[in-house]
Chains A and B, each alone.
Chain A
Amino acid sequence: MQGHVVPKKTYFFIFGSLLALTALTTGMAYVDLGQWNTIVALIIACCKATLVVLFFMHLRWSPRLMRVVLLSAILWLAILISLTTTDFFSRGWTPIPEGWESSLLRPPTLPGNLLHRR
């Protein structure tokens, strides 16, 4: 009843990969990829997280139930973020009148793009 004992070598290999990926993600920030910078950074972060989960957290050797728990957490996070952003990104599709000036309204104190996002 001591569970699965992982060889030290595996741990050190994962550790090395994590450090390398950290260096990679930091380095990539200095390369101009336009929109892709964020996406590459997130992909690298996901890779690192996967390594930690599978090896350090022993998910690779755990019962299937643990994977279901983890996947449902990720799914629920995706639900929260995707349905919320659905609202924010489609709000601008409804035409809003070009900024009317009313003497009743205090001058807008907003950074601006919240009001007239297209």
Chain B
Amino acid sequence: MTTAAVNLDSRAHYLNADYGIKSWLLTTDHKRIAILYLVSITLFFLVGGIAAVLIRIHLIEPNGAIFEPGAYNKLFSMHGIIMVFFFLIPSIPAVFGNFLVPMMIGARDLAFPKLNLLSWYIYMVGGVLVLYAVIWGGVDTGWTFYTPLSTTYVNTNVISAALGVFIAGFSSILTGLNFVVTIHKMRAPGMTWFRMPLFLWAMYATSLIQILGTPVVAITLALVALERVFHVGVFDPAVGGDPILFQHLFWFYSHPAVYIMILPSMGVVSELITCFSKKRIFGYSFVAFSSVAIAVISFLVWGHHMFVSGQSIYAGIIFSALSFAVAIPSAIKVFNWTATLYKGSVSYQAPMLYAIGFIGLFTMGGLTGLFLATLAVDTHVHDTYFVVGHFHYIMVGGAMMGYLGALHFWWPKITGRLYPDGWARLAAAVIFIGFNLTFFPQYLLGFLGMPRRIAIYPPEFQVLNVMSSAGASILAVGYAIPLVYLIWSMRYGPVAGPNPWGAKGLEWETPSPPPTENFPQTPVVTEEAYAYGK
């Protein structure tokens, strides 16, 4: 083990380039900033995860096992705000995007390294503000901040929570901006658009959403905060304002935000599937353009969150039609991934298990989205546990599986060490089983009509709720296992070498962990992505 440590440190790389807390907090190295994000989003995930576990324990009893309704409301609001804005949205872009975008295109760093560090600080300021809000006094508006509840009727820390999200939004915008400029301007010689790994296409599409959507939710939440401070009524019916306008502006961002979470995972899955079946991707251009198509169409469908909101039914019909449109590129991706396995050389190391888990869960989550795009059916299941089940299949089943897949795939590159593959496979299986047990019953609950966000429910729903809670405990164990062995591997894991998976891509051509400048000299690209035949 000690020899391993000697091996890694015998040469200069980004981790041993400098030591001390200052070398981390003032770094402009994209790889170190990625680590800063990795640590901070893990902390936020733990906070949000504890809230989730408490929610599920509470719901074992129809009358609620632990909390008063008011406390329960604060708990699910905290879970939603932290998981959505401080874990899922930054997760893959801020950690793996930061680490990989420059390496995959053969650049030394992102286009604006200082801006990149600034993004992390902005994110932390927003995060601290929100943590303050949820821990000292709490927020009970839900992550959706619906008016006039949030502006006039609740007495909790709405202002600091809304400002926290507002501030964190700029972190997301600047990260997206950095990626788009980097992908446009910093590609190594020979790295044409159609030679780029699909992860980069996905990151590019994600960045478009971050750039064009986030400012709208920022100004909207700023208006909510102002309305609370000054009691002016932009969304207040008492002054003639319209609360439904708030929903339009909010969902204009917050629906595409779902694709900020899922698109990067789709990019990761494209990398994993090709690597572990030793094959080029089936239908490269279809997979690449479907990412961009998803990003664009995602901006046209927000009204399906408002089918029963009092929105005009004609607008509802338009939004319903457009919502179906977004299903097509998603379907194209799933079929192409499946076809990539055909005649491949498929191996089942841990990252591949996560990728296959992603495809399964995303398929189930995506298909249940059809129910919610269908006006007549949505009328029944809207705002019920069906919706909760659906978006957890996408955001936890999909985005989280992709995140863990990425973590296991690039961990040797990031740390230079391997983790125990057996444990990793076990964790993947436990997570897959726990996840389905947790969230599948929620579809049934929703069909039966159990509303979301309630602390007390009719006793006939108890069986399914208990199943869901049981699943949640398995899921929690599943998430804890990687935490243990990954930390263990940082010190005791075997040395990985530059390319432990036999993967293609520029990031694998440099040592693990990579040197500060990524490449000894600027690489020249001569072949397409996923050239596994060569």
Contact = CB atoms under 8 A, between A and B. Distances in A.
A and B are interacting partners: yes
Given A91-B311, A111-B240, A84 B212 contact: no
B312 A93 contact: yes
Interface string A21-53: 000000000000000000000000000000000
Nearest to B185: A65
B308 interface: no
**A contact face: mostly helix, strand, loop, or mixed:** helix
A109 B239 CA distance: 8
Grouping DSSP codes into helix (H, G, I), strand (E, B) and loop, the B interface class, with mixed when no group exceeds half, is helix
A80 B252 contact: yes
B312 A76 contact: no
A79 B300 contact: yes
A83 B303 contact: yes
A86 B315 contact: yes
A86 B252 contact: no
B242 interface: yes
Q: How large is the interface on A (under 10, 10 to 19, 20 to 34, 35 or more residues)?
A: 20 to 34
Interface in A86-100: 86-91, 93-94
A114 B300 contact: no
B25 interface: no
Nearest to B245: A84
A26 to B, nearest CB: 28
B314 A76 contact: no
A87 B315 contact: yes
Contacts of A114: 237, 240, 242
Contacts of B240: 110-111, 114
Contacts of A19: none
A73 to B, nearest CB: 7
B299 A90 contact: no
Contact of B248 (A65, A72, A87, A109): A87
A80 B216 contact: yes
Contact of B314 (A79, A84, A93): A93
Contacts of B315: 83, 86-87, 90-91
B313 interface: yes
Interface string B304-337: 0010001111110011000000000000000000
A95 B310 CA distance: 13
A90 B212 contact: no
Interface residues of B, number: 25
A97 B200 CA distance: 54
Contacts of A76: 212, 299
B22 interface: no
Contacts of B302: 83
B313 A94 contact: yes
A94 B312 CA distance: 8
Contacts of A80: 216, 252
A73 B216 CA distance: 12
Contacts of B212: 72-73, 76
B247 to A, nearest CB: 10
A72 B209 CA distance: 12
Contacts of A93: 312, 314
A73 B238 CA distance: 34
Nearest to B242: A114
A86 B237 contact: no
A110 B238 CA distance: 6
A110 B314 contact: no
A36 to B, nearest CB: 26
Contacts of B303: 83, 87
A109 B314 contact: no
A114 B252 CA distance: 23
B184 interface: yes
Nearest to B318: A86
B291 to A, nearest CB: 16
A79 B311 contact: no
A93 B316 CA distance: 13
A93 B312 CA distance: 8
A91 B310 CA distance: 8
4 closest residue pairs by CB, A with B:
A87-B315, A91-B312, A90-B314, A90-B312
17 contacts: A72-B212, A73-B212, A76-B212, A79-B300, A83-B300, A83-B318, A84-B248, A84-B252, A87-B244, A87-B315, A91-B310, A91-B315, A93-B312, A93-B314, A94-B313, A110-B238, A114-B240
Interface of A: 65, 72-73, 76, 79-80, 83-84, 86-91, 93-94, 109-111, 114
Given A79-B299, A91-B310, 7 more contacts: A76-B212, A83-B319, A86-B318, A87-B315, A88-B312, A110-B237, A110-B240
